[in-house]
Amino acid sequence: MTEKVLFGRTKGLLDVEMHYCPGCGHGIVHRLIAEVLEEMDLLPVSAGVSPVGCAVFAYKYFACDMFEAAHGRAPAVATGIKRVHPDHCVFTYQGDGDLASIGTAEIVHAAHRGEKITTIFINNAIYGMTGGQMAPTTLVGQKTTTCQTGRDRDHCGAPIRVAEMLATLEGAAYIERTAVNSNANIIRTKKAIRKAFEAQMARKGFSLVEILSTCPTNWGKSPVESMQWLESDMLPYYPLGVFKEV
């Protein structure tokens, strides 16, 4: 009898337990990134930059050099790293507060300059780590701790579509939005992450994958209900697809 591994643990993640809530999408995406870096043989020359957000501890999980960045500044930190090691693979991992609120200047300018870095952007329409406040990606009508009767479009606008916005910039080489709500979409997410890293290593410019994910704890839903809400409410507003590919 021989045993052939069909689905095993990637070397791209250290054997440490992750602190995320049950059913949180972070764990899924961390694994996909780690698998892609391992498969592309990039781990020995990779450096990741973790955000301020639930994924702040991402620096504990990836099997490569890691940096923790101040809130929103990961693209600037990644720029510094990549300019010193232009042949290395540099990625940022950011949430919606980090990237689309405080870090908007940094992400826009990294894309504008065509920085050869890859950003993995986790959009779960809420601020997780700080306890469920409104994010720039929170949907109109969605209730959070800082819009307790639901986001009011008149008061503070409608959510921002980051992938579409960044795709307008010349320096963006690969921009795609995916989701982790189904087996098929998880597979597509991995392919998108791979294409993004390939764009970086081919020096085509800036690459970003926006990944729709869940926050069961702050949405007040079970993990399964959260995936259902992603499908029913987030997908219609945030269409999946490739927005830029050079």
Partner 1 sequence: MMILLKINSEKCKGCRLCERACPKGLLHLSKTSLNAKGYQPAEISDLLSCIGCAACARTCPDLCIEIAKQEEAQ
Partner 2 sequence: MTKHLMKGCEAIAEAAIRGGCRYFFGYPITPQNDIPEYMSARLPEVGGVFLQAESEVAASNMVYGAAGAGARVMTSSSSPGISLKQEGISTIAGAELPCVIVNVMRGGPGIGGIQASQGDYFQSVKGGGHGDYRLIVFGPASIQETVDIMYDVFDIADRYQNGVMILADGLIGQMMEPVELPDFKTAEQMRVDKPWAAIGWSEDCGKPRAVINSLYIEDWELESLHERLQSRYRDIEKNEVRYDTYHTEGAEIIIAAYGTISRVAQAAIDEMRDRGWKVGMVRPITLWPFPSRAVYEAAAQPTVKKVLTVEISAGQMVEDVRLAVNGLKPVEFLGWPGSRIATTDEIMAKVKEMREG
Q: Residue 187 binds what, of partner 2, partner 1, none (CB under 5 to 8 Å, by partner type)?
A: partner 1
Query: Which residue, chain included where needed, has tokens 């597509």?
Result: 188
- Measured distance CA(59)–CA(50) in Å, rounded: 6
- Under rule CB under 8 A, residue 79 binds partner 2: yes
As a whole number of angstroms, the distance between CA 154 and CA 156 comes to 6
Token pair 């992750």 in the structure block, residue:
18
Nearer to partner 1, 93 or 243 (CB): 93
Q: Which of 111, 123, 155, 116 is nearest to 235 (CA)?
A: 123
83 forms part of the interface with partner 2 (CB under 8 A):
yes
Given partner 2, partner 1, none, residue 105, with its beta carbon under 5 to 8 Å by kind, binds partner 2
- Minimum CB separation from partner 1 for residue 178, in Å? 13
Verify binding: residue 77, partner 2, rule CB under 8 A: yes
Assess contact for 134 and 73: CB atoms under 8 A: no
Which residue, among 46, 33, 19, has the nearest Cα to 93 in the 3D structure? Answer: 33
Binding mask 8-47 for partner 2 (x = CB under 8 A): -----------------------------------xxxxx
From the list partner 1, partner 2, none, partner contacted by residue 43 (C-beta under 5 to 8 A by kind)? partner 2
Q: What is the CA radius of gyration of the chain?
A: 17
Report how far residue 140's alpha carbon sits from residue 142's, in angstroms, rounded to the nearest whole number: 6
CB of 49 to partner 2, least distance (A): 7
| Comparison of 105 and 202: residue with beta carbon closer to partner 2 | 105
Q: How far apart, in whole angstroms, are the C-alpha atoms of residue 181 and residue 202? A: 30
**Chain contacts with partner 1 (rule: CB under 8 A):** 1-9, 13, 17-18, 20-28, 31, 180, 182-183, 186-187, 216, 222-224, 227
Comparing CA positions, the residue from 73, 134, 138, 144 lying closest to residue 106 is: 73
Q: Say how many residues touch partner 2, by CB under 8 A.
A: 32
Judged by the rule CB under 8 A, the positions of this chain that interact with partner 2 are 43-47, 49, 56, 59, 63-70, 73, 76-81, 83-85, 88, 105-106, 108-109, 113
